[in-house]
Chain A
Amino acid sequence: MHGPEIQWYVVLSALLFATGALGVMLRRSPLIILLSVEIMLNAANLLLIAFSRLHGHEDGQIFAISVMAVAASEVVVGLGLIVALGRRNVELDVDKLRTLRG
């Protein structure tokens, strides 16, 4: 086993995840939120691969690839929605999009 200890990966992943989460919660632009979600997903991927390597199992890596595929699909849908919003001249601000309020 070469490279840094597992703790480093976990800490990095936690930092990445926190960054993404803060981005989702604090930013208003849907585009940035989508990017932050990607960061959170990749934080999870990093953990999956790190533990997969630690335990010598391939399952985690396969899982990471699945997550990437899902993330790609999600980006396609998300970006499509954002483009549709832009085409309709809707202001790109998630705080203004609150017609689903209870």
Chain B
Amino acid sequence: MRAAAWVCLLLPLASAVAITFAGTKISRRAAGYISTLTTMGSFVAAAVAFFTMLGEDAGARGHVTTSWTWLAAGQYHFGFTLLADQLSVLMMLIVSGVGGLIVAYSVGYMDGEDEERRYFAYMSIFVFSMLLLVESGNLLLLLAGWGMVGLSSYLLIGFHHDRPSAIAAAKKAFVMNAIGDATMALALFLLIQHTGRLDYGGVFAASPHGGAVANLIALGLLGGAVAKSAQIPLHTWLPDAMEGPTPVSALIHAATMVTAGVYLIVRTHPLFENAYVIQDLAAGLGAATLLMAGLIALVQVDIKRVIAYSTMSQIGYMFVGAGLGAYPNAMFHLMTHAFFKALLFLAAGIAIHAVVGEQDIRRLAGIGRLMPFTKLVFLIGSLALVGIPPFAGFFSKDSILAAGLDRGWYGILLTALGLVGAFLTGLYAFRLYFIVFTGEPSAFAREHFHAHHGKEGPLSTRWTVGTLALLSVIGGFLQFAPLWHPLSTWLGPVAEPFAEPTNAQEWAISGAAVAVGLAGIAVAWLFYAAKRAPVPSPVRLFEKKFYWDELYDYLWYYPSDLIARGLYALVEKPLIGGSIAVVTGGASLGARELGRAQTGLVRSYALALAGGLAILTVVFLAAR
């Protein structure tokens, strides 16, 4: 059990180290295979851990191993502690499983790129960091993993380091995540001050109930969660992060890293329950994000950005679930979302590759006719995203919405917003699907389409996408809240939900959500497939992404710029520049004037010597 957890954690690290030190001694393809095999090895280890745990008593499934004292400061000792329990083993399975598939896909997708070895080393580092995050047994180690996934995200967004836009996006992501890291660190300081420890059990037992301190702690953790999970107000980095290679978008910015915020809330849910205002705030932010991202996704024209906004929107659902106390439902949606969102990104990657990297959906239009396999898997992914039975999203999303009905007027409000979001999901997902994959191929698509490897991508991309499609179809059957719920039972001892809707509510919400989802699809069909009505011109507010970037420019960029310019004009130029000008001017003037004394006439030098001597003589005589 413990060995499995360690193997799962350390295999990707070993892979990253091996690829880095092997350098050009191994071929690019070998680097890809090393990375793939180690990530899949991690998955096997996670599966071993899972099945071992399955045979154990439900109350005794948490395993804590402390290997050594990682950090000692005064009276505080923090160990390098791994925790394997029901929640972390679920995350380990998702991260290493979906991660293994996506790294395998990358072997074919990144074929022919420059610097593939660097790419696979980064991917392995990311998988290691993410596993560290989910396996850590105390909050300090979690923060370390938290920072390291931010670093690997930065490295991979900026993978194409010759593109200025990629570098700018990488920096933006890093800075916004650093804000979240900082608030999390502040929360940890408060916890140390009030409880003196950071291991989960000890912190949960000793942290204050209610009051300003509990609120501040939860708020700090929430800050980290919204930054990592791209929720309002720290969400603006995620769409720009699409500058990274498509498998990176699939793995980091859809399936795993961005859902870490949800994991954090579920993992530290006792701290949030001690500060119910903040937990309600988390749910509210999630609802606001899911609506806003859905509206923005309606007007985006970049295929990856549409999917990115969809990711923000789906994580909004998870935040609603976690904020309302329906932890297993949030984790369930996290899992199914990892399947179908990775599928959508990877399928989009195949389409993008087929037309020399074009991402504009107006130019990609109608490409589905040329790529039947991609069209099919993208349709499966879209249906799962909208939540049409029997695809995965149906089972997980609806149970989150149903949980709202158990939480008073606030929950009902959030459920209503979620249903509006479900309509938007149907609309934007099938706008994308109908434009890109149905109808006549555009002139651009016809001209630039070239079948990769004679088919739709090499074998490694096709089998991984196929596997994810299969998971998107059957993954949801793991749990159907009204009838069977093994996942809730499994997670129960770790994250006991406090929002438990009745079966009648579950059925009602399921019906309503499917109805509005279908309505969204129908509207999309009307506009974009049947073209019965002219497409409305895009709303400027949505196109400008609700002016968040502009707002931050006005709040932070322009004032800092103004202050910097003012300091330059008022302080640097007159004081620093001025003082240097005085020194240099004085030296130059003095040298010029002194230079006059140097006449070149030996006689005048001799006279000066004699004069000096005479003066000295007089002085000495007078002084005596």
Contact = CB atoms under 8 A, between A and B. Distances in A.
Interface stretch (A52-60, A71-79, A91-99): A91-99
A101 interface: yes
A95 B603 contact: yes
Nearest to B597: A102
Nearest to A21: B610
Interface in B119-166: none
B607 A102 contact: no
Nearest to B613: A21
Nearest to B594: A102
Given A21-B610, A25-B610, A94 B598 contact: no
Interface string A25-47: 11010000100000000000000
Interface string A61-102: 000000000000000000000000000000000110111111
Nearest to B603: A25
A63 B603 CA distance: 28
B602 A94 contact: yes
B601 A95 contact: yes
Nearest to B592: A102
A10 interface: no
A24 B599 CA distance: 16
Contacts of B55: none
B595 A102 contact: yes
Interface residues of A, number: 14
Contact of A94 (B594, B597, B603): B603
Contacts of B603: 24-26, 28, 94-95
A21 B596 CA distance: 24
A30 B597 CA distance: 22
Given A21-B610, A25-B607, A25-B610, A33 B602 contact: yes
B600 A24 contact: no
B606 interface: yes
B18 to A, nearest CB: 69
A25 B605 CA distance: 9
Interface string B563-606: 00000000000000000000000000000001111111111001
B596 A102 contact: yes
Interface residues of B, number: 13
A21 B613 CA distance: 12
Contacts of B596: 102
B606 A98 contact: no
Contacts of A25: 603, 606-607, 610
Contacts of A102: 594-600
Contacts of A98: 599-601
Nearest to A36: B606
Interface string B54-77: 000000000000000000000000
Contacts of A99: 600
A25 B614 CA distance: 15
Contacts of A28: 603
A33 B600 CA distance: 16
Contacts of B594: 102
Contacts of B602: 33, 94, 97
B601 to A, nearest CB: 6
Contact of B606 (A21, A97, A100): A21
A13 to B, nearest CB: 14
A25 B604 CA distance: 7
Interface string A11-28: 000000000010011101
Nearest to A27: B603
A54 to B, nearest CB: 20
Given A99-B600, A100-B600, A101-B600, A24 B606 contact: yes
A81 to B, nearest CB: 12
Contacts of B601: 94-95, 98, 101
Contacts of A24: 603, 606
Contacts of B595: 102
A95 B605 CA distance: 12
Contacts of B607: 25
Contacts of B597: 102
A72 B598 CA distance: 29
B131 to A, nearest CB: 75
A26 to B, nearest CB: 8
B598 A101 contact: yes
Contact of A101 (B599, B606, B610): B599
Nearest to B604: A25
Contacts of B606: 21, 24-25
A101 B603 CA distance: 13
A46 to B, nearest CB: 18
Nearest to A99: B600
A99 B597 CA distance: 14
B588 to A, nearest CB: 14
A99 B607 CA distance: 19
Nearest to B610: A21
Residue in A24, A28, A97 whose Cβ sees the most chain B Cβ within 10 Å:
A24
B614 to A, nearest CB: 10
A102 B602 CA distance: 13
B597 to A, nearest CB: 7
A27 B66 CA distance: 97
B247 to A, nearest CB: 72
A21 B610 CA distance: 8
B609 to A, nearest CB: 9
Residue in A24, A26, A99, A102 whose Cβ sees the most chain B Cβ within 10 Å:
A102
A100 B599 CA distance: 8
B414 to A, nearest CB: 86
Interface string B74-97: 000000000000000000000000
Contacts of B598: 100-102
Contacts of A26: 603
12 contacts: A21-B610, A24-B603, A25-B603, A25-B610, A28-B603, A33-B602, A95-B601, A95-B603, A98-B599, A98-B600, A102-B596, A102-B600
Given A33-B602, A94-B603, A101-B601, 17 more contacts: A21-B606, A24-B603, A25-B603, A94-B602, A95-B603, A97-B602, A98-B601, A99-B600, A100-B600, A101-B599, A101-B600, A102-B594, A102-B595, A102-B597, A102-B598, A102-B599, A102-B600
Q: 3 shortest A-B CB distances, which residue pairs?
A: A102-B598, A98-B600, A101-B600
